[in-house]
Structure 1
Amino acid sequence: MNITKQVILTSLLVASESGLAGDASKENDCILNLYNSGSGELTLSEMRMMCGSEKPQTMAAEKSEARNTGRITNRRQRESQTEFEPYVITPHNMNYILPAYSTSAINREAYRLFDGYGENLEDIETKFQLSLKVPLNYGDMLLKGDALYLGFTLEAWWQVYSSNISKPFRETNYTPEIFYYAPLNWQIFGGNTAVIVGLEHQSNGRSQLLSRSWNRAYTGFLFEKDNFVLSFRSWYRLEEDEKEFEFDPGGDDNPDIEDYMGHYELGIVYKWDMFEFSFMGRRNFSTDFGAVEAGMTFPLWGKLRGYATAFHGYGESLIDYNHKQSRFGIGIALNDIL
């Protein structure tokens, strides 16, 4: 008896010993007849399907699930294995440091009322970002595979080369958010789709004339196929009261921020071998203000990744939301986007 036939007979014997009778016995006989009279090209699953013991839609769903996996799905699967471990921090956005981050025009105008500060700012500084998230649900909520997260991102621009003003942190941005992620059953062009809905607060933690902040509700659409990911995000700014006087601490610090930041953002990420390429673009079509950003990560050493990035436009930070510049940086990343 060859190995294939032995496997089939063993499978049928296990089914019989499990207490299956009646229809199960007929299905077993059907499978043996198919094997004895067939060409030998049918698999056991295919013979079970033909004999009624396995549903076609089950096989189709399994094949579809195995075929349609992408970078977002893979990342979600990896994170789910450790995100509830007490000593594991799950990244949200990228975590990186850029020791050399240059600009074509440092924003001195924002500090015009602070004597000696703006004049001593250097066009090269250090930037770093720390970003993490915490899951809030253990199982499915509304859809299979969905998740609710708390996220937090810190960005800092450090004037480490400005010895005349004691190397201060020129700007820090804090972004706490809560968001809901849900994969969709809509598969287009052989890929997967998902949606993200969230609330986000962003502030630079400053007061008076240097204070910048805004709140927004956003919705995002994700598409993945193999090593390619596309995201489109739109947002609505939650309105704030106007300032009653110049130094009013409760009024809107930047009422025109949408003129420069727009209402939409397009993101593209592509993984090629050990390299990851990213693109971000946003624009306000009414004012023609916006920004573009490109990045690349590459192998460095161990878990460390090299990271190179370029930015052009408005809104590279909150203090620079209405300041146009071109920026270039190179440094080290702890994790990729995907």
Structure 2
Amino acid sequence: MKLKKSVFLAFASFIVIGVSRVEAQTITREQFKDSIQKLPYFSIHKDNYFVTGIPTNTAINSSSADAKYQISFKQMITRDQLPWDTYLFLTYTQKAFWNIYEDSFPFKDINFNPSITWGKPIFDKKDRLRGLGTVSLEHESNGRDSIYSRSWNRITFSYITKIAKNTRGSFELWAPFAYKDGNRDLLDYTGLGEINLEHEWKPNKLYLTLRMRKGLNFDAKGSIRTRIYFNPFKQNRSNQYLMLEYYVGQAEGLLNYKESKSMIRVGYVIKTNEFSFFR
């Protein structure tokens, strides 16, 4: 747990330093409107990936090593602005944990996460883009019944902005409801929100991300996830990268959300570009 506490402190310091160095945005209100008109109706939402790896806190065998993949997309309802300069879109994310090293290749856990989201760009007095705020109605479950059923619903408030040179931040706050059947203490492990940071070391070539969640209680429950993205290709028109991921904590999946995990995985990813407005 010393490692986790150190990362938490470094993370907090990084935010304080980063905010003090934030630079002015260059995208204007009109440029943002033009960009929205050029966006496809159907696009990537979160990262789409396939990775595989091993645990670092237990014995390595066919049951503890696994693969994980995610499919995530977004559908804009309309490109036209709604009242108060807002936009509406649907998202869907599916994450699966796959025991590919066991006989018959069983799926251990599959999590489904649809949402409907209302988004609003935030501009300063000079009509320069400062951030993107969203409000989402989300459902997340593992699609199972009986004692294996896990699900929760939440209203998610999020804000995405640039917090330092080449560094973007995404901050989420959750208002959960209808979640106590089957996972009454889920929030003790997930908390009420998360913080994501993305740093661009080399444009379209090398990125580092960090995600942090903290459970409700004053203990070590929560999670930290770090990722390194590297593009080995000369050209990268499709956001294709190799990804190294390290996850430590609980609630990586819904089925065994109380289980403490420490996993390192590597694989292929089609990276989301939702932070691209703040590069």
Report the TM-score range of the alignment, normalised by the length of the smaller protein. 0.7 to 0.9
Matched residue, 2:49: 96
Letter in 2 for 1:327: M
Letter in 2 for 1:162: E
Structure with larger Rg: 1
Q: Please report how far the alpha carbon of residue 181 of structure 1 lies from its aligned counterpart in structure 2 after TM superposition.
A: 1.4
Extract unaligned runs of 5+ from structure 2. 1-23
Letter in 2 for 1:93: K
The question of whether the paired residues in 1 share the 8 Å contact of 2:166 and 2:201 is answered with: yes
1:69 correspondence with 2:47: no
1:123 correspondence with 2:64: yes
The CA deviation string for residues 158-196 of structure 1, in whole angstroms up to 9 with x for no partner, is 111102xx11111100000011111112489x9712211
- Structure with the higher fraction of residues in strand conformation: 2
Letter in 1 for 2:184: P
Matched residue, 1:156: 96
Extract unaligned runs of 5+ from structure 1. 1-66, 107-119, 243-251
> Would the alpha carbon gap of residues 180 and 293 (structure 1) be closer, same or farther in structure 2, given more than 3 Å must change?
same
Q: Please report how far the alpha carbon of residue 232 of structure 1 lies from its aligned counterpart in structure 2 after TM superposition.
A: 1.2
- Structure with the higher fraction of residues in helix conformation: 1
How many residue pairs get aligned? The number is 238
Letter in 2 for 1:295: R
TM-score (norm 2): 0.77
The CA deviation string for residues 197-230 of structure 1, in whole angstroms up to 9 with x for no partner, is 1111001111212111111111112222653211
Letter in 1 for 2:199: Y
1:81 correspondence with 2:81: no
Whole-angstrom distance in 1 between the partners of 2:255 and 2:218:
19
1:183 correspondence with 2:112: no
Q: Please report how far the alpha carbon of residue 335 of structure 1 lies from its aligned counterpart in structure 2 after TM superposition.
A: 2.0
Q: Please report how far the alpha carbon of residue 69 of structure 1 lies from its aligned counterpart in structure 2 after TM superposition.
A: 3.4
Matched residue, 2:213: 282
The percent of aligned pairs where both chains have the same amino acid is 24
The question of whether the paired residues in 2 share the 8 Å contact of 1:222 and 1:231 is answered with: yes
Q: Which aligned pairs between 1:284-299 and structure 2 lie closer than 5 A?
A: 284-288=215-219, 289-299=221-231
Q: Please report how far the alpha carbon of residue 121 of structure 1 lies from its aligned counterpart in structure 2 after TM superposition.
A: 5.7
> Would the alpha carbon gap of residues 74 and 294 (structure 1) be closer, same or farther in structure 2, given more than 3 Å must change?
farther
1:214 correspondence with 2:155: no
- By relative contact order (CA 8 Å, sep 6+), the higher-ranking structure is 2
- SS at 1:300 equivalent: coil
TM-score (norm 1): 0.64
The question of whether the paired residues in 2 share the 8 Å contact of 1:267 and 1:280 is answered with: yes
- SS at 2:111 equivalent: strand
Q: Which aligned pairs between 1:191-210 and structure 2 lie closer than 5 A?
A: 192-210=130-148
Whole-angstrom distance in 2 between the partners of 1:160 and 1:125:
6
Whole-angstrom distance in 2 between the partners of 1:183 and 1:92:
17
- SS at 1:219 equivalent: strand
Q: Please report how far the alpha carbon of residue 312 of structure 1 lies from its aligned counterpart in structure 2 after TM superposition.
A: 0.6
Matched residue, 2:14: none
Matched residue, 1:172: 110
The question of whether the paired residues in 2 share the 8 Å contact of 1:300 and 1:306 is answered with: yes
User: Post-superposition, which runs of at least 4 consecutive aligned residues in structure 1 deviate over 6 A?
Assistant: 73-77
> Would the alpha carbon gap of residues 285 and 186 (structure 1) be closer, same or farther in structure 2, given more than 3 Å must change?
farther
